[in-house]
């Protein structure tokens, strides 16, 4: 009881001494500034409203003139942080391409300073670098310490800060791309990314403003929703899932099938890029697991998990009954990297097509389909040689033009504890498909 009373008194003294400090704050002693980073972009800081913004310089060269017409491509939330870090937890158990993910954010910094701004246009790639520190504001630290009086989690020191840098640059190869890069360096005393108290960090956040009526489209192949505003979207490629929210099949498969029921966001092809209804587009270059959270009414926040690794001590276990070829693997967030980095690009464009073209200019574009693919239907089928040939003959009898067959089970099938699955070894099963169908027919017409 005495220890508890002392803790309460100490907390009360700290509350008194910190005044009205609030979370989600940003501060800077710098004067307002604006720099042309490349031919297309202006990056500006307004110290009165405490907003960092990126403006399309084709619309205006005076970003803080009230009557100027400007197109804001990206802006921080007024008086709030735009970079943060945390020591949260992330783990995933995988079976046959489906994942059960657990994530938890701890000790997140919500106070940020901008201590210095350096602009360098001496090269063909001009860059603006902001540096400062990230921490928890005193009020938040005290509240967290009070909660930890009755929990097993480690306490957070009052002076728990880490350095950061945010660099904007524009490569003349991509004049409509403003590249950004957040770096969280390791402390001088350790080889892992830590705060001044030694707290290991494994998540980086980038937060910025959205208009209240701004819709969000993208993130790769999304099946359930078109407008993803108001949702937290994992950018994480997995099996699509069977059920995806349809009950009771989804719950059954998620419980007994290693997460194979999926949910609304599971997708084979996740892409960390979007286009908004305001003709804004941002994408990440990172390949780590990321989340895009737009559940706040006025903001969106990317979070990127530090590079992950297999936890061999806990990983391999039985994936099913005797005779099953499945395995279960556990993946955990790692703190082995010496620093953390989040990189991406803000795009300038006037239409969805133009913004997508700018993205694929960097990410790559699918080549045009070969001419033969336009000569008839590409028929998706399965079942082995005899079954496919039977369908082939039926289609030919009705003069259906056929360009090709797509055979999902070309690698053969296997029994997995009573469940039929593919081998997934990417080798033709010459017993199941006896010879390559395209070259066993005598005439070009029969080859399809």
User: Max Cα separation, the chain?
Assistant: 94
CA angle 235, 236, 239 (to 5 degrees): 135
State whether residue 417 is helix, strand or coil.
Answer: coil
- Specify the DSSP class assigned to residue 366: P
Q: Are 131 and 109 in contact (CB under 8 A)?
A: no
Q: What is the pLDDT of residue 141?
A: 53
Between CA 73 and CA 12 the distance in angstroms is: 44
pLDDT of residue 92: 82
Q: Which residues of 204-223 are buried (b: 16+ CB within 10 A; e: fewer)?
A: bbbbbbbeeebbbbbbeebe
pLDDT of residue 89: 78
Say which residues have a Cβ less than 8 Å from residue 244's Cβ, sequence separation at least 6: 223, 224, 250, 261, 262, 263, 264, 266
Give the burial class of 184: count Cβ atoms within 10 A of its Cβ; 0-12 exposed, 13-18 middle, 19 or more buried: buried
Find the range with the poorest average confidence among 66-70, 144-148, 269-273, 365-369: 144-148
Which pLDDT value is given to residue 351?
96
pLDDT value at position 313? 37
DSSP 126-147: -EEEEEEEEE--HHHHHHHHHH
Cβ distance 69 to 186 under 8 Å?
no
CA distance 68 to 287: 38
Q: Tokens for 113?
A: 């300073």
Segments in 258-381 forming alpha helices (H): 352-363
The Cα–Cα gap between 53 and 62 comes to 12
The mean-pLDDT minimum among 25-29, 286-290, 308-312, 329-333 falls in 308-312
Q: What is the DSSP string of 64-121?
A: T-TT----EEEEPPTTS-SEEEE--EEEEEEETTEEEEEEE--S---EEEE-EEEEE-
Q: What is the mean pLDDT of residues 50-77?
A: 79
Q: Taking residues 267-285, what's their average pLDDT?
A: 97
**pLDDT at residue 240 tops 80:** yes
For residue 17, what pLDDT is reported? 28
The enclosing H or E element of 303 equals: strand 299-305
Q: What pLDDT was estimated at residue 199?
A: 59
Is residue 375's pLDDT more than 90? yes
Tokens encoding 425:
């070894």
> 282: buried, middle or exposed (CB in 10 Å: 19+, 13-18, 0-12)?
buried
**Closest CA relative to residue 81, chosen from 16, 142, 164, 15:** 164
| pLDDT given at position 381 | 95
**Could you report the per-residue pLDDT of 381-414, keeping only the tens digit for each?**
999 999 999 999 999 999 999 999 999 999 999 8
Residue 322 pLDDT > 70 = no
Residues, the chain, total?
448
CB contact at 8 A, 182 and 286: no
The lowest-confidence range among 241-255, 264-278, 352-366, 405-419 is 405-419
| Averaged pLDDT, 187-192 | 42
What is the sign of the dihedral through the CA atoms of 253, 255, 258 and 260? Answer: positive
Higher per-residue pLDDT: 138 or 336: 138
What do you get for the CA distance between the two ends of the chain, in Å?
Answer: 84
More confident residue, 417 or 355: 355
Helices 138-147 and 2-18 sit at what angle, rounded to 10 degrees? 170
Q: Which of 11-25, 127-141, 177-191, 249-263 has the lowest mean pLDDT?
A: 11-25
Q: Which of 196-200, 219-223, 271-275 has the lowest mean pLDDT?
A: 196-200
Q: pLDDT above 70 covers what percent of the chain?
A: 73
Nearest Cα neighbor of 348 from 338, 340, 359, 337 is: 359
Which string of b and e fits 380-414 if b means at least 16 CB within 10 Å?
eebebbeebeeebeebeeeeeebbbbebebbbbee
Strand segments, DSSP code E, in 314-394 are: 317-318, 327-333, 340-347, 377-381
**pLDDT(275) > 50:** yes
Instruction: Tally Cβ neighbours within 10 Å of residue 45.
Output: 23
122-133 confidence digits (pLDDT tens): 999 999 999 999
pLDDT in tens, 82-119: 999 988 778 888 887 888 888 888 889 999 999 999 99
**Chain mean pLDDT for the chain:** 80
């Amino acid at each position: 009881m005495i220890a508890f009373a002392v803790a309460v008194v100490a907390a009360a003294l700290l509350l008194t001494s910190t005044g009205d400090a609030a979370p989600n704050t940003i501060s800077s002693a710098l004067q307002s500034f604006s720099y042309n980073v490349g031919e297309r972009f202006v990056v500006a800081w307004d110290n009165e409203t405490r907003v960092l913004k990126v403006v399309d310089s084709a619309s205006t060269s005076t970003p803080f003139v009230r009557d100027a017409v400007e197109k804001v491509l990206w802006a921080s939330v007024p008086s709030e942080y735009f970079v943060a870090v945390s020591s949260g937890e992330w783990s995933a158990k995988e079976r046959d391409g489906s994942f059960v993910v657990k994530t938890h954010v701890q000790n997140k910094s919500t106070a940020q300073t901008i201590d210095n701004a350096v602009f360098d246009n001496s090269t063909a790639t001009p860059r603006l670098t902001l540096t400062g520190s990230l921490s928890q504001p005193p009020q938040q630290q005290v509240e967290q310490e009070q909660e930890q009086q009755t929990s097993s989690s480690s306490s957070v020191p009052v002076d728990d800060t880490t350095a950061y840098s945010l660099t904007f640059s524009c490569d003349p190869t991509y004049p409509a791309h403003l590249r950004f890069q957040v770096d969280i360096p390791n402390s001088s005393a350790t080889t892992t990314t830590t705060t001044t108290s030694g707290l290991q960090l494994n998540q980086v956040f980038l937060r910025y403003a959205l208009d209240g009526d701004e819709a969000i489209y993208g993130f790769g192949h999304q099946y359930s929703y078109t407008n993803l505003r108001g949702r937290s979207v994992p950018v994480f490629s997995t099996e699509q899932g069977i059920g995806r929210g349809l009950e009771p099949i989804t719950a059954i498969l998620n419980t007994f099938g290693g997460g194979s029921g999926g949910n609304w966001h599971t997708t084979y092809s996740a892409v960390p890029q979007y286009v908004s209804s305001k003709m804004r587009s941002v994408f990440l270059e990172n390949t780590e697991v990321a989340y895009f959270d737009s559940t706040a009414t006025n903001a969106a926040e990317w979070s990127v998990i530090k590079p992950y690794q297999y936890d061999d001590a806990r990983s391999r276990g039985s994936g099913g009954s005797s005779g099953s070829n499945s395995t279960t693997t556990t993946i955990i967030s790692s703190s082995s990297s010496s620093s953390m980095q989040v990189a991406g690009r803000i795009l300038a464009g006037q239409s969805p097509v133009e913004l997508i073209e700018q993205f694929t200019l960097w990410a790559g574009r699918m080549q045009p389909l070969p001419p033969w693919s336009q000569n008839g239907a590409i028929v998706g089928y399965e079942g082995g040689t005899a079954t496919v040939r039977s369908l082939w003959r039926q289609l030919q009898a009705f003069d259906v033009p056929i360009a090709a067959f797509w055979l999902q089970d070309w690698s053969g099938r296997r029994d997995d504890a009573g469940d039929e699955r593919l081998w997934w070894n990417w080798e033709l099963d010459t017993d199941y498909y006896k010879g390559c169908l395209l070259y066993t027919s005598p005439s070009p017409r029969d080859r399809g």
